[in-house]
A and B are shown apart, each in its own frame.
Chain A
Amino acid sequence: EIVLTQSPATLSLSPGERATLSCRASQSVIKYLAWYQQKPGQAPRLLISDTSNRATGIPARFSGSGSGTDFTLTISSLEPEDFAVYYCQHRTTWPMTFGQGTNVEIK
């Protein structure tokens, strides 16, 4: 199975700063990578699919890029509600897997 490794494990930033999260795959997932946001006590929420397509209702400050094995989620200017854990997930091969997450915390 494909292993997704996210870095850093924790990102400490202030509101208004730019967040850059990384997801690296153990083999190519082509473009078939998604990002999810999870807040404490809530289910994950789909943010981005197929590397760069924002889901319905997701603000433009969230953007995704990459291809093959290296992917990035960028939050251009952190809002208070963006502090959460972010997971990447691929759908290229069976089984689909998630990364272990990046916790974006308030500095």
Chain B
Amino acid sequence: EVQLVQSGAEVKKPGESLKIACQGSGDTISNSWIGWVRQMPGKGPEWMGVIYVGDLDSRYSPSFQGQVTISADKSINTAYLQWSSLKASDTAIYYCTRQDYSQGYMHVWGNGTTVTVSS
């Protein structure tokens, strides 16, 4: 089964941009729905959105629409989550996941990327 390997921890200042990555290992993710989940310190997970890597069809939770951009590059088996202008409230662990559908369960999880936004 595919494993999802995420990029390393980031420390940024408010207003900076950021793009974090999630690479499939052991199998292609080009026929997969890859989702992103936020987990703020001490809180439960929040589903942010999802992308079908094969055709780049992306969908967002209303809470995150316009706040982040989900993209992918199937040639390098990688999905991305990016911000154009970070806020302190974006401080969290971000997980990529492989979902069985655009609106499906999260069967495979990445190792998580910790994003810290602080002045």
The chain A residues found within 8 Å of chain B, CB to CB, are: 1, 34, 36, 43-46, 49, 55, 87, 89, 91, 94-101
Contact across chains for A91 and B105 when beta carbons are under 8 A apart: yes
- What is the predominant secondary structure among interface residues of chain B facing chain A? loop
The chain B residues found within 8 Å of chain A, CB to CB, are: 43-47, 59, 61-63, 95, 101, 103-107, 109-112
For residue B101, which residues in chain A have a CB less than 8 angstroms away from its CB?
A: 91
Q: How far is the CA of A44 from the CA of B44 in the complex (A)?
A: 10
For residue A45, which residues in chain B have a CB less than 8 angstroms away from its CB?
A: 109
Contact across chains for B45 and A44 when beta carbons are under 8 A apart: yes
Q: How far is the CA of A98 from the CA of B104 in the complex (A)?
A: 13
- What is the predominant secondary structure among interface residues of chain A facing chain B? loop
25 pairs, CB–CB < 8 Å, chain A vs chain B: A36-B106, A43-B109, A43-B110, A43-B112, A44-B106, A45-B109, A46-B105, A46-B106, A46-B107, A87-B45, A89-B47, A89-B105, A89-B106, A91-B103, A94-B59, A94-B61, A94-B103, A95-B61, A95-B63, A96-B47, A96-B61, A98-B45, A98-B46, A100-B43, A100-B44
Contact across chains for A95 and B44 when beta carbons are under 8 A apart: no
Contact across chains for A101 and B44 when beta carbons are under 8 A apart: yes
For residue A99, which residues in chain B have a CB less than 8 angstroms away from its CB?
A: 44
For residue A1, which residues in chain B have a CB less than 8 angstroms away from its CB?
A: 62
For residue A98, which residues in chain B have a CB less than 8 angstroms away from its CB?
A: 44-47
Q: How far is the CA of A45 from the CA of B96 in the complex (A)?
A: 12
Q: How far is the CA of A77 from the CA of B81 in the complex (A)?
A: 40
